[in-house]
Chains A and B, each alone.
Chain A
Amino acid sequence: MNGDRDAADTLPVVTNSMAMQLFCAILGESALPIDLLAARCAAVDGAEWSRSVLDQCSTTPTTREGWIAWKVNAKMSIRESDLRAGDSVALGFFLRYFGAIAGCLALDGSLISTIDRAEIRRGLIVIGPSLPGDWRSICATARQRIDQEDSPRNATPGATPGATPG
């Protein structure tokens, strides 16, 4: 960008991925890990980065227990302070953690996290489309599962929204 020109000349058309990063910058300290991860995945090298992070993992699980083990392994490696600071390594582990939650949701509809359902759904929307193809499909299926669970005809009288196994 050329600093000598007028604002109107220098501002490029903001794409979705640019906007994700700008919104995350605007949120500043109140940005949540899902916001930070969404911005990282939307970056210029985001697709390459997420692929390399997920490719480092062993074969994707095919059972609920397998996804839980994935999640536990990823969670143990996350340092909260690094994650809050947007550290790329911490975000990589958080991506694996989030991928395990999405994977299990897609597998059998169970939510293996205490993170609020609405927040998981938001993550599937803002992170899922930036991931490599097979993971994009997993996130899309996971979102369908959540939407089916949350649809009014499946509502259980007296159920506590967001009450999920830890």
Chain B
Amino acid sequence: MATTSDSPTPSQTFPETRTLWISEKLSEGEAGRALANGYVMTSYLRPLVVYCRALRLHDSIRTEPQDIVVGFFAHRLAKQEYLKDWLNSGLRLRQWLRNGLHLYVHEQRRENSKGGHGSDALHDVEATGQSQHHEFERAWALGALDMAMREAIAELDARGSRCDWELFWSHHVDGIPYAVLAERRNMTAPQAAQRAFAVAAKVRTALYGILRKDGALTSEIGLEVRAMMEVLHERGS
């Protein structure tokens, strides 16, 4: 049924929720929480390991960065409230986890020293240099892009259209003109461009989904992507 142009759209009627996907999963009980936890562990392991290594958080508790992050996930995500607390925090999920990792390392230090000689975790957060922050953000950006590409490829594979991925990559990354690619594939240049455009749309949809799960609003996503581009070059101050 056609709607009139002045009908309010759902987004005009209701404010967009920042954390829809994880919120939905948590409302589905244990199975949903397991899915949410699995997603968090898969998506944020690498950036947190990079961050842990950059800050040398592992030095004080003599454990490998990856083991620290795995331990952090095991400890925090076992708590039913952990992700619910994030939903109320107003933070991006990656910021919530980064702060949480600091607190976890502080707890581990205290436990190891028994005498309470560990440094103050919040002080550590404040003392963190911009370069470590940028390393974390860069690892997150590259990880999110990697996940988005894999999602797009899986979708293309399912439709038997993997060759479109090669076309997209060859043009956008290798810089080969559509005319050359089209000749190789026995198609016209506009057809090649159209296929690559469709692949870009799939990667875009996947990346936007990942950013939404991290807590970005749809209206913030363009800025988020530009911030990701910026942080690739940012070396800290």
**Cβ-based interface call for B230 (8 A):** yes
CA gap between A20 and B142 in the complex, in Å: 10
B204 x A126 contact (CB < 8 A): no
- Interchain CB contact under 8 A, B175 and A43: yes
Chain B residues with Cβ below 8 Å from A7 are: 149-150, 153-154, 157
Interface assignment of A78: CB less than 8 Å from any CB of chain B = no
Max chain B C-beta neighbours (<10 A), residue from A22, A125, A128: A22
A5-62 residues at the B interface, CB under 8 angstroms: 7-8, 10-11, 14, 16, 18-28, 30, 35, 38, 43-45
Closest A residue, CB atoms, query B200:
A25
Task: Determine whether the beta carbon of A30 is less than 8 Å from that of B222.
Answer: yes
B interface bracket (residues with beta carbon within 8 Å of A): 35 or more
Docked complex Cα distance between A38 and B173 (Å) = 13
Task: Tell me the count of chain A residues lying within 8 A, CB to CB, of chain B.
Answer: 31
Question: Given A38-B229, A125-B233, is A21 in contact with B173 using a C-beta cutoff of 8 Å?
Answer: yes
Binding stretch for chain A, among B7-15, B29-37, B73-81, B163-171: B163-171
Query: By DSSP majority rule, is chain B's interface helix, strand, loop, or mixed?
Result: helix
Check B16 for interface membership: any CB of A closer than 8 A: no
Q: Which residues of A contact B233 (CB under 8 A)?
A: 16, 125-126, 128-129
Query: By the criterion CB–CB under 8 Å, are A28 and B229 in contact?
Result: no
Is A3 interfacial (CB 8 A cutoff)?
yes
The minimal Cβ–Cβ distance linking A71 to chain B, given in whole angstroms, is 23
Q: Which residue of chain A is the closest to B148 with respect to CB atoms?
A: A26
Q: Please measure, in the bound complex, the distance between the C-alpha atom of A47 and the C-alpha atom of B100, giving whole angstroms.
A: 41
* Interface of chain A residues 110 through 166 with chain B (CB within 8 A): 122, 125-126, 128-129, 147
List the A side residues contacting B226 at CB < 8 Å. 27, 35, 122
Chain B residues with CB under 8 A of A23: 145, 225, 228-229
B175 touches A44 (CB 8 A): yes
B214 to chain A, nearest CB (A): 16
Closest B residue to A25 by beta carbon equals B172
A3 to B161, CA, bound (A): 10
For residue A76, CB closer than 8 A to chain B, the reply is no
C-beta contact mask, B108-152 vs A, less than 8 Å → 1, else 0?
000000000000000000000000000000100110011011100
The answer to the question of B26 belonging to the interface, with a C-beta cut-off of 8 Å to chain A, is no
Is B105 positioned at the interface, with any CB of A under 8 Å from its CB? no
- A25 near B168: Cβ-Cβ < 8 Å: yes
Residues of chain B with a CB closer than 8 A to A38's CB: 229
By a CB distance below 8 angstroms, the chain A residues around B203 are: 22, 25-26
Q: How far is the CB of B173 from chain A (nearest CB, A)?
A: 5
Does B50 make an interface contact (CB < 8 A)?
no
B232: interface (CB < 8 Å): yes
**B235 to A, closest residue via Cβ:** A129
Chain B residues near A (Cβ < 8 Å):
138, 141-142, 145-146, 148-150, 153-154, 157, 162-163, 165-166, 168-169, 172-175, 197, 200-201, 203-204, 207, 222, 225-226, 228-230, 232-234, 237
Apart from A7-B150, A26-B148, list 20 A-B contacts with CB within 8 A. A3-B165, A7-B149, A7-B153, A11-B153, A14-B142, A16-B138, A16-B233, A19-B229, A23-B225, A24-B172, A25-B200, A30-B222, A35-B229, A43-B175, A44-B175, A122-B230, A125-B230, A126-B229, A126-B232, A147-B237
Closest 6 CB pairs of A and B: A7-B153, A25-B172, A16-B232, A26-B204, A3-B162, A25-B200
